[in-house]
């Protein structure tokens, strides 16, 4: 995997505190040319509460039937449905009888209340059982984790309801090798809850207003699964004495595991996926002139299909120079552009929160702030990056134009999903089904 760093400033002033921003670029390797040699595990947890009756449930089932057609007979697949209780519809295991799986999906009917906790816990249990079960040949397979996709259209109204409790469950599941992605369906779901679950589970979060959009989002999740070449990636930041991590701009789970040591969870990556992370460090006053190491970055990941753990180590160094020399420094335009881009994402998130409160005017003002930051980001960016930023500018301007027509509830979900993609998964392109 390619792994590079770029600092906004390479020099700091002698005997003066300073902040530096570090941009990390990652790119996953290409997929092996040989036939896929590993089985995937995908567990679906599907809301079948009363609000899903009719088109929403039919659309979700249709999308899952299409998903089954794209998976290999060796892939492990399971479905748990939930309303006020959880039920296993398709036991998690190899897809040796796709017709029976489709029949099970077609048998799903709407029910009552929304107990997402019951569905999520039952889904996790099924995934773990299925990933450890014997394959079609009867040979035992070691537990390899997998992906759990939550599809819900409503607010939780029974069982576990606390956002932090769900986030903790998803975080612990990720520690055991399970990535959790979420799909918010329609206009009635809780965007704060579903994005928190996806963040803690190192997965994706998407918003789908109708069955067609839901089908596209589910297909995208399968695209990533079938093209996966990196599993359980994490970045360990080790700081030199007195150096502090001030901020991780990307919305990723991070844990302090010791003095001057933070682990950032990156999740899985598909073939040739690019990712960007932006981190701010505070560097203390240094008495000695010359090159100084302020941090060490350790990228760990499991290479698929070989399931071999890899480690890449990069130092972060700055040059300590006299104050008058440091005063003339110019920030790297690439890092400066990314900083503005991420500040725009924070404004987008705040706009989503304002729309969630029903505050139309504040939400629109924050979208204007995001647009201004993106325009500045484009001015600082190299020519080859301006197309990507221009696309983001147009999306934010479209949000601003549409909010009066679609309303704050719709726009809260649209902006939240967009912010999550551009922060948590910054730099990626969606895999094409033609690649799988």
Model pLDDT, residue 226: 87
Q: pLDDT-based confidence at 138, cuts 50/70/90?
A: very low
Q: Tens digits of per-residue pLDDT, 253-306?
A: 999 998 889 999 999 999 999 999 999 999 888 888 999 899 999 999 999 888
- Top-tier CATH class for 2-25+230-266+278-326: mainly beta
**Residue 86 CA to its chain's centroid (Å):** 26
Model pLDDT, residue 134: 44
User: Which residues, in sequence order, are CB contacts of 141 under 8 Å at separation 6+?
Assistant: 39, 131, 132, 133, 134, 135
Model pLDDT, residue 131: 84
Q: Tens digits of per-residue pLDDT, 4-58?
A: 999 999 899 888 888 999 999 999 998 876 655 578 899 999 999 998 988 889 9
Q: pLDDT-based confidence at 85, cuts 50/70/90?
A: very high
Q: In the predicted model, what is the mean pLDDT of residues 234-258?
A: 90
Query: Is the pLDDT at 240 greater than 90, yes or no?
Result: no
Can you identify the CATH homologous superfamily of domain 41-226? von Willebrand factor, type A domain (3.40.50.410)
Model pLDDT, residue 144: 59
Same fold across 2-25+230-266+278-326 and 41-226: no
Query: Is the pLDDT at 436 greater than 60, yes or no?
Result: no
Q: How far is Cα 367 from Cα 358, in angstroms, rounded to an integer?
A: 15
The secondary structure of residue 8, as a DSSP letter, is S
Q: In the predicted model, what is the mean pLDDT of residues 54-65?
A: 91
Q: How far is Cα 62 from Cα 68, in angstroms, rounded to an integer?
A: 10
Model pLDDT, residue 139: 38
């Amino acid at each position: 995997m390619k792994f590079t760093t770029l600092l906004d400033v390479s020099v700091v002033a002698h005997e003066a505190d300073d902040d530096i921003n570090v941009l990390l670029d990652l790119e996953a390797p290409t997929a092996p040319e040989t036939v896929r040699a590993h089985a995937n595990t995908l567990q679906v947890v599907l809301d079948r509460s009363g609000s899903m009756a009719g088109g929403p449930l039919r659309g979700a089932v249709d999308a899952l039937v299409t998903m089954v057609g794209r998976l290999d007979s060796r892939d492990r697949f399971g479905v748990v449905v939930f309303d006020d209780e959880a039920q296993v519809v398709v036991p998690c295991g190899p897809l040796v009888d796709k017709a029976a799986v489709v029949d099970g999906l077609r048998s799903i009917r709407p029910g009552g209340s929304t107990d997402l906790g019951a569905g999520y816990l039952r889904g996790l249990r099924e995934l773990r059982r299925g990933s450890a079960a014997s394959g079609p040949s009867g040979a035992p397979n070691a537990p390899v984790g997998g992906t759990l996709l939550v599809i819900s259209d409503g607010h939780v109204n029974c069982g576990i309801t606390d956002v932090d409790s769900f986030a903790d469950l998803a975080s612990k599941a990720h520690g055991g090798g399970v990535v959790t992605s979420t799909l918010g369906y329609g206009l009635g779901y809780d965007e704060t809850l579903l994005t928190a679950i996806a963040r803690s589970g190192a997965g994706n979060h998407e918003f789908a207003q109708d069955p067609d959009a839901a089908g596209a989002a589910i297909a995208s999740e399968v695209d990533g699964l079938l093209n996966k070449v990196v599993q359980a990636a994490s970045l360990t930041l080790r700081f030199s004495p007195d150096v502090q991590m001030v901020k991780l701009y990307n919305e990723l789970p991070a844990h302090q595991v010791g003095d001057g040591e933070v682990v950032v969870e990156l999740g899985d990556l598909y073939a040739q996926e690019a990712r960007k992370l932006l981190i701010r460090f505070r560097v203390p006053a240094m008495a000695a002139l010359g090159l100084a190491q302020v941090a060490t970055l350790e990228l760990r990941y499991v290479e698929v299909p070989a399931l071999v753990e890899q480690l890449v180590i990069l130092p972060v160094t700055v040059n300590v120079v006299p104050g008058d020399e440091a005063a003339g420094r110019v920030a790297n335009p690439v890092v400066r552009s990314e900083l503005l881009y991420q500040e725009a994402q924070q404004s987008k998130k705040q706009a989503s929160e304002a729309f969630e409160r029903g505050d139309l005017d504040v939400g629109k003002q924050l979208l204007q702030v995001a647009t201004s930051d993106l325009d500045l980001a484009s001015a600082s960016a190299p020519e080859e990056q301006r197309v990507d930023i221009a696309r983001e500018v147009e999306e934010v301007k479209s949000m601003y134009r549409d909010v009066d027509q679609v309303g704050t509830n719709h726009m809260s979900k649209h902006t939240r999903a967009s912010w999550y993609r551009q922060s948590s998964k910054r730099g990626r392109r969606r895999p094409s089904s033609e690649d799988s």
